[in-house]
Amino acid sequence: MTNSWHPESRGSLTVHTVSQAELNVRLAQDIAQRLAAGIQARGHAVLSVSGGKSPIVLFEALRVIDIDWSRVRVTLVDERCVPRIHPDSNALLVQTHLLQDLAAKAQLVFMVTGSSEPLGSPAAQAKAASIALSAVGVADVLVLGMGADGHTASLFPEAPNLTDALDMRNTQTCVSIELAHPPANAPYARITQTLAQILSARHIVLPLTGTDKLNTLQQAWQQATPALPISFVLQQTQTPVALWLAN
């Protein structure tokens, strides 16, 4: 990252700056330790993960770490409204890149249960996903990502119901997101955890690489604004957040 600005830890937000080569290995070790502690304390642990291409290397580092994966339940932070065997399904990505090797024993909780078209409406799928996630319980670790536009999960700045999804009084675990202009590479309606559900996690991690994302982070660091949904995660004090940056 060439941006000269570097965030510093504050309040419940800690910043880890490591080399690009070390980032995913060290973060995977940190996540595994937290999951192992959850298993020891409660008999099981919950890991909630984001989709997309960014976390693939992290998943591949995490899946070879020796913990009792049979006691780990994996949930999704967000999902595309496609059958769970669709190439663009986050569930399929998690099965392909995380639930392998030692982590093959973990249990994946699907947001979209259908394996073929037609699926129910996005709103109906979000309601079913809310029930499934609520049954699993609190995430010990929740892995977020961030786009250069400041979105996280499927909380996009231009989402019509973003206000509802960001409302901490919203008792829904998940909501549907239908964008007027979805990303060309993933033109689907989505289901996403609400901000309140994301912040119910015991620990949140946000790994970031790239100058464009650091520039966005610098803006989101200043104040909470719907123009940069990730800012609501960074500006709160309810939940510990660990920011992992590559230098």
pLDDT digits (tens, 9 = 90+) for 145-162: 999 999 999 999 989 999
Q: What percentage of the chain exceeds 70 in pLDDT?
A: 97
Mean pLDDT, the chain, rounded, equals: 93
- Classify 154 as helix, strand or coil: coil
- Classify 207 as helix, strand or coil: strand
User: ∠ CA 225-190-194 to the nearest 5 degrees?
Assistant: 45
Q: Which domains does the chain have, with CATH numbers?
A: 13-246 (3.40.50.1360)
Looking at residue 2, its pLDDT comes to 53
Range with the poorest average pLDDT among 14-28, 105-119, 170-184: 105-119
Length of the chain: 247
Cα 162 versus chain centre, distance:
17
| Residue 116: pLDDT over 70 | no
Rounded to an integer, the average pLDDT of 58-65 is 98
State phi, psi for 9 to the nearest 5 degrees: -60, 145
Rounded to an integer, the average pLDDT of 103-126 is 87
Confidence of residue 1 (pLDDT cuts 50, 70, 90): very low
Q: What radius of gyration do the chain's Cα atoms show? A: 17
Cα 149 from Cα 39, distance rounded (Å): 36
Cα 114 from Cα 116, distance rounded (Å): 6
Residue 49 belongs to what H/E stretch? strand 45-49
Residue 99 exposure: Cα atoms within 13 Å on the Cβ side:
21
pTM, full prediction: 0.95
